Amino acid sequence: MELKINRATVPVADIIFEGIQEQSVELDYILPDYYPDIFRLIRCETVPVITSWNISGERLTYELRCDIRVIYCSEDSNVPQCISQRRSFSKTVELGKACDTPVVKLVPKAEHANCRVVNKRRLDMRGAVSVKISVTGETAQEVICDASGMNIQLRKIPLKFASEKVVVEKSIEISEETELTPAQPAILGIISCRCIVGECEKKMVSGKLLAKGEAEIRLLCSCEKDGTGAVEPMSFTFPYSQIIDIDGIDDSFECTVTPETLGCDVTPVADKDGENRILRCEIELKLVCSAVKSASLMIGTDAYSTVYPCMISSSDVRAEQIPAVFSENFRHTARIAENDAVPQRIYAMWCAPKNINTHMSDDGHSLIVSGMLTYSMAAADASGMIVMPDRDEAFEETIVLGEEVSGCSISAEISVKDVSYNISAEGVLTAKADISAKILAYGCSSVKALTDIAVDNSTKKERDGDYAVKLYYGTENEEIWDIAKRYSTVVDAVLEENELAGDRLENGGMLLIPIVT
């Protein structure tokens, strides 16, 4: 009987490019006439964001925007002043090859920002940001899913993969005005503005995706309290709801919506009494919508003939899969300062994660997440001056995931939900950060699949004797497939002869190997 091979085509994830690009950020700034002279620098920071990207042929281009904030005080007033500037850069990456249906991930990170006062009207800032770049594509890989004839034995495993995938991005704008409460002081200026977007709710309605969520603006505003400069923290939440068209999807697709902040501008506006008690908020978000349909296929991973010499060819198949998602919350406690180093007054404290690393525990059931948490605060020192120091604290947390993640590729997204602080009677300032960890567990990302089988029917295998049964002493956890292949016999015959139920020997011991061709 001639050899018959059935083949199938599966989409395979293809890593096109992985790397890091750096960009220097420089600012030579002369104060406008309406700004007071510089007396003391308080803080300098750069916030990078990717606003857009495009792939044409073998080239990736993207737009990097850096929002620069320099906070200072004048000699005559302790009210913080903020200089806000924006720098935009067009960056290019040579990918080395073109790709179909690319998935691009760009993660910007501020490396450092150093500022010096050239004179009382001029600032010089030098900094750098980096962008971690990952581009994956999709290629079609032909694999063997079944084979028969010429006494072929085929080892098969199930392969789950993303058979269809659609990614749609939609930008939305939120424009709102909000009025301060009577208890809040009038605003002199905005010295810090952050937009936090949480998990996005989603619902499929008539082939369209409905996405709902909230955007929270967290502000630090300069104001006057008791005749001196102060910092006032404020926060406002604005809901959003969008209908997103994604052609060709239905309830068989699994969808995710990831919101990203592209821009956040808050402008104080005077009320009827001439005080800045109204805030005009402009938020720009990008909703990244991914829809994936899964399929499963039995594919061959190894083959041999019980009678004829056999040659096989195989290839690594990286099948993209929908990750299992786990959520875990934990609290990190840090000793920030003590005794004379404790500020006289703390207006606000916040925290940001960086340099996140993950690895599995030795037993394979827990994930160890580690990295740094940067604690920052706006405070007044013993002399009453406004200070905004940072402190880096290392953390490590063990998260129990369970046996279902064994053999998976794991990544973690860390976010800080809230920060609280306490000054003890002994004069120790302690901060507590409530951390949320989103764990993504991807199934085995690489499988060695058969791509070809060649049987030489011009000759037969030579055996070391003429026998019907062979005695063999197996070792613990040895695979039955390997034993049957070694003796060119049928796997099912070995299982039946020894009354075995699994594909491995749970314990070592004597086996009867029937020679069946």
Residue type, 3: L
**Using CB atoms within 10 A of its CB, is residue 473 exposed (0-12), middle (13-18) or buried (19+)?**
exposed
- State residue 319 phi and psi, 5-degree precision: -90, 125
How far is it, in rounded angstroms, from Cα 122 to Cα 126? 14
What is the bridge-based pairing of β-strands 122-148 and 103-119? antiparallel
Please compute, for residue 89, the number of CA atoms within 13 A of its CA located in the half-sphere on the CB side: 19
CA-wise closest residue to 304 among 159, 150, 447, 158: 150
How far is it, in rounded angstroms, from Cα 457 to Cα 464? 20
Alpha helices for 10-159 (secondary structure H) = none
What is the bridge-based pairing of β-strands 208-225 and 228-245? antiparallel
**What's the pTM value of the predicted model, to 2 decimals?**
0.83
CA-wise closest residue to 161 among 138, 131, 193: 138
Residue 101 contacts residue 137 (beta carbons within 8 Å) = yes
Greatest CA separation found in the chain?
107
Q: How many Cβ atoms from other residues are within 10 Å of residue 323's Cβ?
A: 17
Cα 349 from chain centroid? 25
Bridge partner residues of 284 (DSSP): 173, 263
Contacts of 400 (CB under 8 A, 6+ apart): 365, 366
How far is it, in rounded angstroms, from Cα 282 to Cα 179? 15
Evaluate the CA torsion angle 14, 16, 20, 25 in order and state its sign.
negative
Q: Where are the beta strands (DSSP E) in 306-323?
A: 310-317
Predicted local confidence at residue 225, as pLDDT: 81
Predicted local confidence at residue 98, as pLDDT: 85
CA-wise closest residue to 107 among 353, 330, 326: 353
Token pair of 128, please? 């750098």
What is the bridge-based pairing of β-strands 310-317 and 276-305? unpaired
**DSSP state, residue 502:** S
Predicted local confidence at residue 74, as pLDDT: 93
What is the bridge-based pairing of β-strands 469-474 and 447-455? unpaired
Kindly calculate the radius of gyration of the chain based on its CA atoms and give it in whole angstroms: 31
Write down how long the chain is.
Answer: 517
Cα 66 from chain centroid? 21
How far is it, in rounded angstroms, from Cα 434 to Cα 429? 17
Q: How many Cβ atoms from other residues are within 10 Å of residue 395's Cβ?
A: 18
What is the bridge-based pairing of β-strands 345-360 and 366-380? antiparallel
What is the bridge-based pairing of β-strands 201-205 and 81-94? unpaired
End-to-end C-alpha distance for the chain, whole angstroms: 13
Predicted local confidence at residue 139, as pLDDT: 84
CA angle 178, 183, 187 (to 5 degrees): 55
**DSSP state, residue 405:** G
From first to last of its 517 residues, the chain has per-residue pLDDT tens of 689 999 999 888 788 999 999 999 999 999 999 999 999 999 999 999 999 999 999 999 999 999 999 999 999 888 999 999 999 999 999 999 888 778 899 999 999 999 999 999 999 999 999 999 999 888 888 999 999 999 999 999 988 888 888 888 899 999 999 999 998 999 999 999 999 998 888 888 777 888 999 999 999 999 988 778 889 999 999 999 999 888 878 888 888 898 999 999 999 999 999 999 999 999 999 999 888 888 889 999 999 999 999 999 999 887 777 777 888 999 999 999 999 899 999 999 999 999 999 888 877 778 899 999 999 999 998 888 999 999 999 999 998 876 556 556 778 889 999 999 999 999 999 999 999 998 887 765 578 899 999 999 888 888 776 778 888 888 888 899 998 998 889 999 989 988 888 888 888 788 888 987 7
The CA distances from residue 94 to 122, 136, 202, 366, 402, in Å, are 38, 14, 36, 38, 41
Token pair of 397, please? 């947390």
